[in-house]
Amino acid sequence: MHRYDTFESPLGTVLLCASGRGLTEVRFARRRRAPIRAGRRRTAASLILARAKRQLAEYFAGKRRGFDLRLDAPGTAFQRAVWRAIARVPYGETISYAELARRVGRPRAARAAGAAAGRNPIAIVVPCHRIVGSDGRLAGYAAGLARKRALLALEAESRGRRP
């Protein structure tokens, strides 16, 4: 049984889902009431979800630069390798999709790395908003470029830099 809850962020409602092993999903809801898949039950009693909500609140308050949460995101071996590489991009910094591909040992697979980043089910915690185009421009973000820009600005501001 998967459990879910929501978190009201400054950028909109965030849906959090967890198995007994860890977070399976963190994403911005497209509507005020997010559609929930069968087999999930809403609860505020999950320690995993409560911890994720607390850490997200600290992140949006500018008091947290990294997350300490158990993850249980389903994906291929390549996707999981890309997500691990994304998780190592430092707070407030960005890398290109080409650099991301190099970091997973597939330097000619920038498009594949980009596709894997686009399938990242654990937004913010696995900070795919820190991945940009080779020319530094913002490119692709499942929750929209306005949110990507806002997340990067939040991180730049809390590091004392201008976005």
Q: Which residues are the active-site residues?
A: 128
Q: How far apart are CA 29 and CA 26, in angstroms?
A: 9
- Check if the beta carbon of residue 49 is closer than 8 Å to that of residue 4: yes
Going from the C-alpha of 104 to that of each of 85, 126, 140, the distances in angstroms are: 7, 15, 19
Report helix angle 77-87 to 110-118, nearest 10.
80
Closest among 114, 90, 92 to 102, alpha carbons compared: 114
At which residue do the structure tokens 């965030």 appear? Answer: 14
Going from the C-alpha of 69 to that of each of 23, 47, 122, 124, the distances in angstroms are: 8, 11, 11, 12
Looking at the chain, the number of H-run helices and the number of E-run strands are 5, 6
